[in-house]
């Protein structure tokens, strides 16, 4: 899951980034509304965590404008403003959820997962795909009931594919899901992760769509293991 965090308080922001990173989530952090606007245009995110009191513009103004421009990204507002009027204003501006400061990181994380699930139209936490089961909260992956050990990047890649079931994702879109902006990405890094995912979850799990990118293919417990020489 790739998250954009717009928060001008460095202390709060670094706590959120560290906490969510530790749970295997990729987080990009910006501190102004202008930077957030540029980021959502430049890359694909799964959720925007938006502080309302920003130095250059009110978060609600930004949110309203993003919604007017057709942005459908789920948005979770983070704020110290706790009157009913504030909450209603946030929801009317297009927020999907609302978390009051100070908050517990575990609650933030739980809300993020709920939000993604709701947007994806799923009512249960587990994503099932053939003989593959993936739990976005615990990041536990089961293939035909057997646990599979995936690295953080492999989990992010799998989540992006499952989340976009049936859709072709370009190289760039997949990189956006797996890496943050600050991460140094070797040119063949994505291919390496795809190779590992195929080795662990069956060679058909990632389909190459020539010239366009990749899409989720069937999970196949029988075709895992070392490739034939
Ligand atoms: Ca602030």
Residue 115 sits in the same domain as residue 12: yes
* Cβ atoms 210, 203 nearer than 8 A: no
Residue 101 sits in the same domain as residue 133: no
CATH code at position 55: 3.40.50.2300
**DSSP assignment string, 26-93:** EEEEE-SHHHHHHHHHHS--SEEEEESB-SSSBHHHHHHHHHHTT----EEEEES--SHHHHHHHHHT
Structural domain harbouring 142 = 127-224
| 104 within domain boundaries | yes
Q: What is the mean pLDDT of the chain?
A: 88
- Mark which of 91, 120, 149 sits at the end of a domain: 120
| 116 within domain boundaries | yes
* Cβ atoms 100, 84 nearer than 8 A: no
Q: How far is the CA of 23 from the centre of ligand 1 (A)?
A: 24
Q: How far is the CA of 43 from the centre of ligand 1 (A)?
A: 23
Q: How far is the CA of 96 from the centre of ligand 1 (A)?
A: 19
* Cβ atoms 105, 19 nearer than 8 A: yes
Residue 80 sits in the same domain as residue 155: no
Q: How far is the CA of 118 from the centre of ligand 1 (A)?
A: 27
| 229 within domain boundaries | no
CATH code at position 196: 1.10.10.10
Q: How far is the CA of 54 from the centre of ligand 1 (A)?
A: 5
Residue 101 sits in the same domain as residue 154: no
Residue 12 sits in the same domain as residue 113: yes
| 154 within domain boundaries | yes
Residue 73 sits in the same domain as residue 145: no
User: Does the structure show a pLDDT above 80 at 227?
Assistant: no
- Mark which of 120, 135, 153 sits at the end of a domain: 120
- Mark which of 94, 120, 146 sits at the end of a domain: 120
Residue 47 sits in the same domain as residue 146: no
Q: How far is the CA of 51 from the centre of ligand 1 (A)?
A: 6
* Confidence band, pLDDT 50/70/90 cuts, at residue 4: very high
Count of the separate structural domains present in the chain = 2
Q: pLDDT tens digits for 146-171?
A: 999 999 899 999 999 998 888 999 99
Q: pTM for the complete prediction?
A: 0.67
Q: How far is the CA of 20 from the centre of ligand 1 (A)?
A: 19
Residue 25 sits in the same domain as residue 50: yes
Q: How far is the CA of 69 from the centre of ligand 1 (A)?
A: 24
Q: pLDDT tens digits for 56-113?
A: 999 999 999 999 988 888 999 998 887 888 888 888 899 999 999 889 999 999 999 8
Residue 99 sits in the same domain as residue 135: no
């Amino acid at each position: 899951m790739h998250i954009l965090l717009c928060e001008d308080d460095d202390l709060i922001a670094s706590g959120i980034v560290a906490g969510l990173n530790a749970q295997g989530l990729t987080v990009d952090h910006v501190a102004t509304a202008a930077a957030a606007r540029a980021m959502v245009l430049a890359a694909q995110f799964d959720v925007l965590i938006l502080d309302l009191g920003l130095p250059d513009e009110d978060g609600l103004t930004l949110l309203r404008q993003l919604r007017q421009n057709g942005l459908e990204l789920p948005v979770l507002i983070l704020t110290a403003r706790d009157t009913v009027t504030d909450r209603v204003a946030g929801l009317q501006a297009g927020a999907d959820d609302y978390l009051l400061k100070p908050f517990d990181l575990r609650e933030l994380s739980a809300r993020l997962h709920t939000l993604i699930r709701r947007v994806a139209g799923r009512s249960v936490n587990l994503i099932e795909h053939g003989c593959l089961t993936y739990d976005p909260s615990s990041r536990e992956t089961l293939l035909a009931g057997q646990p599979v050990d995936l690295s953080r990047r492999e989990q992010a890649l799998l989540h992006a594919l499952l989340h976009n079931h049936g859709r072709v994702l370009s190289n760039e879109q997949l990189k956006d899901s797996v890496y943050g902006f600050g991460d140094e990405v070797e040119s063949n890094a994505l291919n390496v992760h795809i190779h590992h995912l195929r080795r662990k979850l069956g060679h058909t799990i990632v389909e190459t769509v020539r010239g366009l990118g990749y899409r989720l293919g069937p999970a196949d417990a029988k075709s895992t293991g070392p490739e034939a020489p």
